[in-house]
Structure 1
Amino acid sequence: MFSLKQKEEINGYLFILPAIVVIFTFVLLPIGYSIFLSFFKVKLLGGVQYDFTGLKNYLTIVTDERAKIALWNTLKYVIIVVPTQTMIALILASILNSGIKFQNGFRIIYFLPTLTSSAALTLIFMWMFSLEGFMNQFIGWLGFAPKNWLGDPRVALNAIMVMNIWSTVPYFMTIYLAALQDIPRAQYEAAEIDGASAIQKFLYITVPNLKPITNFVLIMGIIGTFQLFDQSYIFSGGSGGPSNATLTVVLLIYQYAFRTMNTIGYASSMAVVLAIIIMIATIIARKINREESLY
């Protein structure tokens, strides 16, 4: 009834059918429903009711002061964290790949933060920056007065940045370590014969050969940082404080969707805008990295 090629195609589709069902149910369907909700004002009390509002939800974002604050906090977080964690991960991977003593032990130690949940890490850092935590004990030992780090709007987001960099660098470092194994050793040997220093070998051999990996690390970093939620939620108790200093776009979406009644449509419009921003940012990062690799 079916030819051998047709049977192979049918078997192939049957094998990927579970994955297609899962992706459609838990990815495509929610995305489509969120886009649908973004054009409506949804009322939950007294029965679900959809009132079509057109682009009103999207226009409201422009005049929403908290949305502007959340977007600025998120952009600042992305601009600082992504390049920093990428550079540190690349440098650490190069050092651990250089044949230093106890490098296997250092790899295990550096990778430990990645094995810890972000919630646990956040609680640890909250203790470190609390009034009786390590930071205040340290500056007290230096002779300075204790400081309310978590209550200071100038410090709160920076503390989250430090924590995120510390916890994500090991993951990207491992990716760089794997990629470093594929760089031909002959290139380094030729550079050594020509008298190149360690820094010159790093800049002119290691970095250019790792361009595709750096592109991947940057894109994953951009996507992850734009979606910052759990650390900000735990740090501020879900409020985004102090003084909206830790308010991010995803946290604001959560507040509008689950804490404020009848604003699910507005929260959905913010989620769609955030997805578009992430898409544009990743395309720009890929384009810049591709253009640099041509020189």
Structure 2
Amino acid sequence: MGKANTSTKRKGELLQAYGFITPTVIILGTFVLFSVLYSLFISFTRVNLLGEVSYKFVGFDNYINLLKDERIWIAFKNTISYVIVVVPTQTFIALVLAYVLNQKLKAKNLIRTVLFLPTLTSSAVLTMIFMFLFSVNGPINQFLMSSGIMESAVNFLGDPKFALKVIMAMNIWSTVPFFMTIYLAGLQDIPDALYEAASIDGANSMQKFFKITVPNIAPVTVFVVLQGLIGCFQIFDQAYIFSNGSGGPQNSTLTVALSMYQYAFKTNGTMGYAAAIAVVLAIVIFIVAMLAKKLQKEEI
């Protein structure tokens, strides 16, 4: 009798568990798994989804054409340049700020709140703000000319040499507070006894930072780097707003995600080609993320 009651109770608990996870499974299956599989499928076809729906299987033609597409190579070059600059910079600044704010400072909670504000602002608004700051008649040019650094205004937004760098600066400024908060949470787990022992041994602040903080925060750094890599490779909205969807000036702000959008919605009949770009981008992100994770583990 006891075994029967236990079995019935266990079945009831399993039904409850399945009831709780079923909505999540349905949502993920519909909007994630199905989307991934469908994108993979149409990447091997020439498909038109904006008018009369039609599919034509073309094999690996989309992927072969992708390798010959000069715009895609430019997009990958811009995206990789963006990743190489932004990820290390935002990671280092976030760690340093977190380390400083983890000390016994006056009004540190107020400082944390102020520094976190950019994260609460939408990327569209931040892009518009930075476009104003770096415009020809904007505050940055006014400061550079008034201080004698520049004799005349620089067209940061229209010069291919500076356009992508402005987006880099904006994203570093807006993402550092988020990663700083993650680092702050990780720093709370480092025992104070380690710093006290280091002080007794005569270690200075720099030695404590590199010998105690950095090694103990390594797992958090792995997470921050991976999140930064994924986010940077997927950059779209800032480049779209900055260039009005063109990737200009002279393709200097053309990213892989933006080129994917252009082929999917701006050119008729290239939705399958855009899906092929998405698949290649996903593979690149996966490979880079795994390499970064492996390198971080080896350093640990």
Using the size of structure 2 for normalisation, the TM-score is 0.95
Q: What residue identity is the alignment partner of 2:74?
A: I
> For 2:52, what is the secondary structure of its paired residue?
coil
Q: Could you say if the C-alpha distance between residues 53 and 208 of structure 1 is closer, same or farther in structure 2, counting changes exceeding 3 Å? A: same
Deviations 1:186-242 (A, max 9, x none): 000000000000000000110011011000000000000000000000000000000
Q: Which runs of 5+ in 2 are unaligned?
A: none
Contact kept? 1:97, 1:180, Cα under 8 Å: yes
Question: What is the distance in 1 between the residues matched to 2:51 and 2:261?
Answer: 22
| 1:178 alignment partner in structure 2 | 185
Matched, 1:103 2:108: yes
Alignment length, in residue pairs?
Answer: 293
Question: What is the distance in 1 between the residues matched to 2:16 and 2:224?
Answer: 35
Q: What residue identity is the alignment partner of 1:100?
A: L
| 1:89 alignment partner in structure 2 | 94
Contact kept? 2:45, 2:272, Cα under 8 Å: yes
| 2:231 alignment partner in structure 1 | 224
| 1:42 alignment partner in structure 2 | 47
| 1:215 alignment partner in structure 2 | 222
> For 2:26, what is the secondary structure of its paired residue?
helix
Superposed CA RMSD? 1.2
Matched, 1:163 2:205: no
Matched, 1:152 2:159: yes
| 2:242 alignment partner in structure 1 | 235
Q: Which runs of 5+ in 1 are unaligned?
A: none
> For 2:46, what is the secondary structure of its paired residue?
strand
Deviations 1:43-80 (A, max 9, x none): 34762111100001011111000000000000010111
Shift in Å, 1:85:
0.2
Question: What is the distance in 2 between the residues matched to 1:236 and 1:216?
Answer: 31
Q: Could you say if the C-alpha distance between residues 45 and 26 of structure 1 is closer, same or farther in structure 2, counting changes exceeding 3 Å? A: closer
Question: What is the distance in 2 between the residues matched to 1:61 and 1:176?
Answer: 39
After superposition, residues 263-282 of structure 1 pair within 5 angstroms as: 263-282=270-289
| 1:19 alignment partner in structure 2 | 24
Contact kept? 1:44, 1:261, Cα under 8 Å: no
Question: What is the distance in 1 between the residues matched to 2:256 and 2:263?
Answer: 11
Deviations 1:136-168 (A, max 9, x none): 211221342111110000000000000000000
| 1:30 alignment partner in structure 2 | 35
Question: What is the distance in 2 between the residues matched to 1:139 and 1:211?
Answer: 39
Using the size of structure 1 for normalisation, the TM-score is 0.97
Contact kept? 1:119, 1:230, Cα under 8 Å: yes
Identity within the alignment, %: 57
Contact kept? 1:69, 1:244, Cα under 8 Å: yes
Question: What is the distance in 1 between the residues matched to 2:124 and 2:51?
Answer: 36
After superposition, residues 173-212 of structure 1 pair within 5 angstroms as: 173-212=180-219
Matched, 1:9 2:53: no
Shift in Å, 1:109:
1.2
Question: What is the distance in 2 between the residues matched to 1:149 and 1:87?
Answer: 26
> For 2:162, what is the secondary structure of its paired residue?
helix
Deviations 1:79-107 (A, max 9, x none): 11001000000000000011122211211
Question: What is the distance in 2 between the residues matched to 1:140 and 1:187?
Answer: 49
Shift in Å, 1:19:
0.6
Contact kept? 1:81, 1:161, Cα under 8 Å: yes
Question: What is the distance in 1 between the residues matched to 2:87 and 2:109?
Answer: 26
